């Protein structure tokens, strides 16, 4: 009954943490493609090929349902995977839609025409590849009209977080927020469009100010998955144990992950 969770590096651990708290009875297999991180500076084809390879590895672990806990993969690869690659008996889901549903106050599966929503000015902070894909704007347009989205590519933030350099990460966050606010001085809401960014949520909130509602993904994705599995229990796979897999050096990644989540995490070679 295992579910797969994929990220290019450690950021997806923020989603995994929320998933395990919301669904303690479900074993999760986490795959971090640390050898190829970060994805945010790669081409769309490269991201697609790497994400497909990781997904196949999770299928081999008995995970018929895989969550792309990586906004870059969700933005640059998911649609193409679902349309051309994923077989009918498997499912691959991304992390954008639960966020957009929360922003537009929609229930899961509400496919009614796009409508006016309360929030009109939204700041999106994401990796360069996610910003370039315009996937967030595309999904938002299916659900809402009249929303102005200003996207800020946040180069360097993921690298700083993965390297454990919190001071540099905070400085980069402030710089990126200042750059966005020069173009959109008064955003009403901010989307943290990378699963690494919840670790910097306070830095984003402080830089944006108390009047901006900051949306982070982990808990929203966890609630969405719980709802999905209630309706589609057939996609609970055959896997029975939780594991942490990495394409990187297991000892190094385990050490960084333990610092990241502040609890002992042991990765195995994928």
Supply φ then ψ for residue 199, to 5 degrees: -70, -20
pLDDT tens digits, 187-211: 999 999 999 999 999 999 999 999 9
Question: In the predicted model, what is the mean pLDDT of residues 74-88?
Answer: 96
Rounded distance between C-alpha atoms, residue 253 and residue 129, angstroms: 24
Does 108 score more than 80 pLDDT?
no
> Which residue would you say has higher pLDDT here, 45 or 261?
45
Rounded distance between C-alpha atoms, residue 236 and residue 64, angstroms: 6
Give the containing element (helix H, strand E) for 33.
Answer: none
Nearest partner of 253 among 61, 19, 30, judged by Cα: 30
Tell me the HSE value of 51 on the side-chain side, using a 13 A CA sphere. Answer: 34
Q: What is the pLDDT of residue 4?
A: 98
Of 41-50, 92-101, 216-225, the range with the highest mean pLDDT is 41-50
Q: Which of 60-64, 105-109, 215-219, 252-256 has the lowest mean pLDDT?
A: 105-109
Question: In the predicted model, what is the mean pLDDT of residues 229-237?
Answer: 92
Q: What is the pLDDT of residue 163?
A: 86
Mean pLDDT over the full length of the chain: 94
Active site residues: 70, 194
Give the model's confidence band at 86: pLDDT under 50 very low, under 70 low, under 90 confident, else very high.
Answer: very high
CB 249 within 8 A of CB 259: no
pLDDT tens digits, 141-174: 999 999 999 999 999 999 998 888 999 999 999 9
Residue 107 CB partners (closer than 8 Å, separation 6+): 101
Q: What is the pLDDT of residue 44?
A: 94
Does 104 score more than 70 pLDDT?
yes
pLDDT tens digits, 213-226: 999 889 999 999 99
Mind listing the domains of the chain with CATH numbers?
Answer: 3-94+218-269 (3.40.50.1860), 97-215 (3.40.50.1860)
Q: Give me the helix-helix angle, 96-103 and 218-231, nearest 10°.
A: 100
């Amino acid at each position: 009954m295992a579910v797969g969770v994929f990220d290019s590096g450690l950021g997806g651990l923020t989603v995994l943490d929320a998933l395990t708290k919301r669904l303690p009875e479900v074993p999760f297999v986490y795959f971090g493609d640390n050898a190829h991180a970060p994805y945010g500076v790669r081409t769309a084809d490269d991201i697609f090929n790497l994400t497909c390879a990781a997904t196949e590895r999770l299928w081999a672990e008995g995970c018929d349902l895989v969550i792309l806990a990586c906004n870059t993969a969700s933005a640059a690869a998911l649609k193409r995977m679902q349309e051309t690659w994923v077989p009918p008996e498997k499912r691959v889901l991304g992390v954008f839609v639960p966020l957009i549903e929360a922003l537009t106050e929609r229930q899961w599966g509400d496919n009614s025409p796009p409508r006016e929503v309360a929030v009109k000015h939204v700041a999106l902070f994401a990796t360069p590849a996610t910003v370039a894909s315009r996937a967030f704007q595309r999904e938002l347009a299916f659900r809402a009209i009249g929303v102005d989205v200003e996207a800020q590519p946040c180069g360097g933030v993921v690298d700083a977080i993965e390297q454990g350099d919190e001071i540099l990460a905070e400085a980069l966050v402030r710089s990126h927020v200042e750059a966005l606010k020069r173009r959109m001085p008064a955003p009403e809401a901010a989307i943290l469009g990378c699963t690494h960014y919840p670790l910097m949520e306070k830095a984003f909130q402080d830089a944006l100010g108390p009047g901006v509602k900051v949306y982070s993904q982990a808990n929203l994705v966890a609630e969405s998955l719980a709802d999905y599995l209630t309706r589609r229990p057939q996609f609970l796979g055959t896997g029975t144990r939780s594991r942490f897999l990495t394409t990187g050096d297991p000892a190094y990644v385990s050490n960084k992950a333990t610092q990241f989540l502040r609890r002992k995490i042991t990765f195995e070679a994928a």
